[in-house]
A and B are shown apart, each in its own frame.
Chain A
Amino acid sequence: MVGATELTPAIPLLPFAAFLVALLVGHFAPRLLPKGGAIPGIIATAGSLLLSLWTFLAVSGGGYHAQDIYTWVAGQSTFSLHFGVLVDPLSAMMLVIVSLVAVLVHVFSLGYMNDEGETGLPRYYAGLGLFTFSMLAFVVADNLLMAFMFFELVGLCSYLLIGFHFREAGPPSAAKKAFLVTRFGDYFFLIGVVGVLATFGTARFVAVGDGVQSFPHLAEQALAAAGGDGAMPEHVASFLDVVGMEPQTWFAVLGLLVLGGVVGKSAQFPLHTWLPDAMEGPTPVSALIHAATMVAAGVYLVARMYGFYALLPTVLAVIALVGGFTALFAATMGVVKDELKQVLAYSTISQYGYMMLGLGAGGYVAATFHLMTHAFFKALLFLGAGSVIIAMHHNEDMWDMGGLKEKMPVTYYTFLSGSLALAGIVPFAGFWSKDEVLYYAVNYGLGESPILLAAYAMGLLAVFFTGFYTFRMVFLTFHGEPRSDTARDPHGVRWNVKLPLVVLGVLAATAGLVNMTPVAKVTGLHIEFLHQWLVIPEGSEFAALGYDHYHHLLEAFAGYGAAGVGTLAPAAVSLALAFGGAGLAWVLYNVDSPTEHTEKLGGVKTVLYNNYYQDEYQVWLAEGVTLPLARAADTFDQGIVDGVVNGVSSVSLFAGSRLKRIQDGLVTHYAALLTLSLVVLLVAFGLLGGWF
């Protein structure tokens, strides 16, 4: 009997097969490919979803699993590099999320791409398949190097899909931007991976089996040894001698380097600029990128190696501050956008900021929870936006919409469910998870780590803006009077659009119920299912990946101490702020013919419209700093380095051109030279040998 664990590699490989089918059949025999590759894609991702659910069930029965699949570099008396799978509660949960969203996006694409008569569909579905494959393989990766490789592949797929409409002007440039900006972060990640391998001699996330070690555990031992407890691992000690740093400092450097990749992929400040531009891609792709794959990869990576980050208070503080700042920063920009997908793009950045804040504030469960709920409601919102865009004949400007509520009720009510979740209105999913993130920040902030309070304040303020922009978007799109002819007579959508919306709408409303911490605290019931799910019992080989272990590390190494704040008061504050934002939007925009209120912001409006001039300053960095630097380096290379090389060669060329003239073809001269040389040699030997 084959168990779920043996079939884990098939979860990523099924979408890969769909990719190959779409690519090869689409190229050689396009007539044989049903629906331009959608059917193989749906079958493969549905298969992945079933296998993921099976794995999920196996894991809830304690069937954790780690296995080396293929060693591609076998080290002789040093470390080896391998591919392997790791199935623990975190990855099992993520597998279900990714494959579920992938199936729904494939189904939705039938409505968004096939029904709209797009061309190049095999290319599109091949991209989706490869994207799903790389993300699923990234999720099950059991070591940092493999994670890095699939992290990069995810980046490549986003490039291919964002630039799907490559004949237009915008998408190719957006695709390049997404690729380059995330690549900038990945560069640091790569150095971090090399650093981890060099320091610890392993990049595994967990040590299972004899003689196997994991780098978070080695780091824990090294830091304990530095604190006078136990022995420093030999390999780490010798490498720290090479580096000449304290373990605490050096590990923080490694943590920050890996974090560079996270900041790029999860679109955190200052590398968030690619994400709004990535809206140039087809809408289902945006849903896939923002909900479950590319952007989630960064946060997932931090959660994956949380055993390492939990040791480093400095890095945790950086993560929390970057997250809190990004949450607020992006939310303020979302307030003034006119295009549906742009608002959603900034909300994505903002929500991932919350996840980073949660991770930095020691709320591992909270951040994972938010990752899950956000995947559902953000996929829902993007697909809902896609549905609206179909209806509006690909016009995305919210000022041309209005009154779509009666015309497309399914889209409206599911979109509303997603919006309530995004704004954090009780009892929708986003409320529970966002609230838990903020609760951790304030609880530890008031306890031993006051710096978290700054991050908390920013996160809390962002709740207000989130409520505002979310409902501004809802009211402008669906309420009021139709403001254009297309909005008066929108294009209908079919079942393949409605089905994913309904599934996700239900999930967005209910997914939060799996971890109702405030309710659990008040009633004393044990209903924090996600919390229990992420705890791995002591004594299991996988206990180092469990929440209890992380909690212990946070207290022992990062000095996190809880203040014991009650759960109700922070929840009430953030709920009040969310209602405040939503209420303001209600007053301003829930009227028959809303007007633009952004003029009242004055100078702030210009700054917000221009996204705080982030793009401008990054372009300036590239053109004003990097380019002159590169030019100087080029001059040095062309002038000095090449000059030396060319100088040497020109000396020998010149000498050769003169010397060759003694070969004049006259035998007599050759003979004379021979004789003379012999005489000279004889005389020289004679003088040196002392014959005379």
Chain B
Amino acid sequence: MAVAVEYYLLLSAAVFCTGVFGVLTRENALMFLISVELMLNAANINLVAFSHFYGNITGQVFSLFVMGLAAAEVAVGLGIVLVLYRNFDDVDVRNATTMRW
């Protein structure tokens, strides 16, 4: 018994919105990274769901790529967070406002 594809989409939308909410409201840079991961994985859910729906394996392969990308992004992101900490003694994004008008 297969779950209808609409439920996967709803789940995906919910996870994505959670990610967006996290990015918009959090002050901790690490939370930013986690939120971005949520958004990426919401996309992954979509890919897998449609792949399954159309009986085509490409979407699932693509989700593997996205995971690889996410790992790379986290590596870069954590690097940035470390630099942020070194410069501002904190990982609060509100402190790092040097690049402004």
Query: Which residues from A are CB-within-8-Å of B25?
Result: 668
Residue from the list B20, B27, B32, B100 in contact with A665, Cβ < 8 A: B100
Nearest residue, chain A, Cβ from B35 = A671
Query: Which residues from B are CB-within-8-Å of A665?
Result: 96-100
Q: Could you mark each residue 1-23 of chain B with 1 if its beta carbon is under 8 Å from any beta carbon of chain A, else 0?
A: 00000000000000000001001
Judge whether A645 is part of the interface by a CB distance below 8 angstroms.
Answer: no
How long is the Cα–Cα vector from A666 to B97 in the complex, in angstroms? 6
Judge whether A655 is part of the interface by a CB distance below 8 angstroms.
Answer: no
Nearest residue, chain A, Cβ from B100 = A665
Query: Which residues from A are CB-within-8-Å of B23?
Result: 668, 671
How many A residues touch B, CB cutoff 8 Å? 11
How long is the Cα–Cα vector from A668 to B93 in the complex, in angstroms? 8
Judge whether A661 is part of the interface by a CB distance below 8 angstroms.
Answer: yes
Judge whether B54 is part of the interface by a CB distance below 8 angstroms.
Answer: no
How long is the Cα–Cα vector from A664 to B96 in the complex, in angstroms? 10
Instruction: Name the residue among A661, A663, A667, A675 with the largest chain B CB count within 10 angstroms.
Output: A667
Q: Could you mark each residue 661-692 of chain A with 1 if its beta carbon is under 8 Å from any beta carbon of chain B, else 0?
A: 10111111001100100000000000000000
Judge whether B86 is part of the interface by a CB distance below 8 angstroms.
Answer: no
Judge whether A31 is part of the interface by a CB distance below 8 angstroms.
Answer: no
B100, A664: Cβ atoms closer than 8 Å: yes
Judge whether A600 is part of the interface by a CB distance below 8 angstroms.
Answer: no
How long is the Cα–Cα vector from A663 to B99 in the complex, in angstroms? 9
Using C-beta atoms within 8 Å of the partner chain, give the interface range for chain B: 10 to 19
Judge whether A631 is part of the interface by a CB distance below 8 angstroms.
Answer: no
**Chain B contacts with A in 17-65, Cβ cutoff 8 A:** 20, 23-25, 27, 32
B98, A675: Cβ atoms closer than 8 Å: no
A663, B93: Cβ atoms closer than 8 Å: no
Judge whether A660 is part of the interface by a CB distance below 8 angstroms.
Answer: yes
B100, A663: Cβ atoms closer than 8 Å: yes
Query: Which residues from B are CB-within-8-Å of A663?
Result: 100-101
Nearest residue, chain A, Cβ from B94 = A666
How long is the Cα–Cα vector from A665 to B97 in the complex, in angstroms? 4
Query: Which residues from A are CB-within-8-Å of B100?
Result: 663-666
How long is the Cα–Cα vector from A351 to B62 in the complex, in angstroms? 101
How long is the Cα–Cα vector from A671 to B94 in the complex, in angstroms? 13
How long is the Cα–Cα vector from A275 to B98 in the complex, in angstroms? 73
A675, B101: Cβ atoms closer than 8 Å: no
Chain A-chain B contacts (Cβ-Cβ < 8 Å), number: 30
A672, B101: Cβ atoms closer than 8 Å: no
CB distance from B65 to the nearest CB of A (A): 24
How long is the Cα–Cα vector from A666 to B94 in the complex, in angstroms? 6
Q: Interface on chain B toward A: helix, strand, loop, or mixed SS?
A: loop
Nearest residue, chain A, Cβ from B25 = A668
Nearest residue, chain B, Cβ from A661 = B101
How long is the Cα–Cα vector from A560 to B25 in the complex, in angstroms? 102
A664, B97: Cβ atoms closer than 8 Å: yes
CB distance from A531 to the nearest CB of B (A): 88
How long is the Cα–Cα vector from A361 to B69 in the complex, in angstroms? 98
**Chain A contacts with B in 641-670, Cβ cutoff 8 A:** 660-661, 663-668
Query: Which residues from B are CB-within-8-Å of A661?
Result: 101
Query: Which residues from A are CB-within-8-Å of B94?
Result: 666, 668
How long is the Cα–Cα vector from A667 to B100 in the complex, in angstroms? 11
How long is the Cα–Cα vector from A184 to B29 in the complex, in angstroms? 77
A672, B24: Cβ atoms closer than 8 Å: yes
Query: Which residues from B are CB-within-8-Å of A667?
Result: 32, 93, 96
A668, B98: Cβ atoms closer than 8 Å: no
B101, A664: Cβ atoms closer than 8 Å: yes
CB distance from B38 to the nearest CB of A (A): 14
**Chain A contacts with B in 263-279, Cβ cutoff 8 A:** none
A660-B101, A661-B101 known; A666-B93 Cβ under 8 A: yes
CB distance from B98 to the nearest CB of A (A): 6
Query: Which residues from A are CB-within-8-Å of B93?
Result: 666-668
CB distance from B31 to the nearest CB of A (A): 11
How long is the Cα–Cα vector from A671 to B23 in the complex, in angstroms? 7
CB distance from A657 to the nearest CB of B (A): 9
B97, A668: Cβ atoms closer than 8 Å: no
Instruction: Name the residue among A660, A664, A668 with the largest chain B CB count within 10 angstroms.
Output: A668
How long is the Cα–Cα vector from A668 to B97 in the complex, in angstroms? 11
How long is the Cα–Cα vector from A663 to B24 in the complex, in angstroms? 16
**Chain B contacts with A in 74-101, Cβ cutoff 8 A:** 93-94, 96-101
How long is the Cα–Cα vector from A433 to B35 in the complex, in angstroms? 108
CB distance from A675 to the nearest CB of B (A): 6
CB distance from B81 to the nearest CB of A (A): 12
How long is the Cα–Cα vector from A503 to B70 in the complex, in angstroms? 106
CB distance from B99 to the nearest CB of A (A): 5
How long is the Cα–Cα vector from A660 to B99 in the complex, in angstroms? 12
B97, A675: Cβ atoms closer than 8 Å: no
A675, B24: Cβ atoms closer than 8 Å: yes
Q: With A664-B100, A667-B93, A675-B24 given, can you name 15 additional A-B contacts, CB distance below 8 Å?
A: A661-B101, A663-B100, A663-B101, A665-B96, A666-B93, A666-B94, A666-B100, A668-B24, A668-B25, A668-B27, A668-B93, A668-B94, A671-B24, A672-B24, A675-B20
Jot down 26 A-B pairs with beta carbons below 8 A, ordered by A: A660-B101, A661-B101, A663-B100, A664-B97, A664-B100, A664-B101, A665-B97, A665-B98, A665-B99, A665-B100, A666-B93, A666-B94, A666-B97, A666-B100, A667-B32, A667-B93, A667-B96, A668-B24, A668-B27, A668-B93, A668-B94, A671-B23, A671-B24, A672-B24, A675-B20, A675-B24
Q: Which residues of A contact B (CB under 8 A)?
A: 660-661, 663-668, 671-672, 675
The 9 closest A-B pairs by CB, nearest first: A665-B100, A665-B97, A660-B101, A667-B93, A671-B23, A663-B101, A664-B100, A665-B99, A672-B24
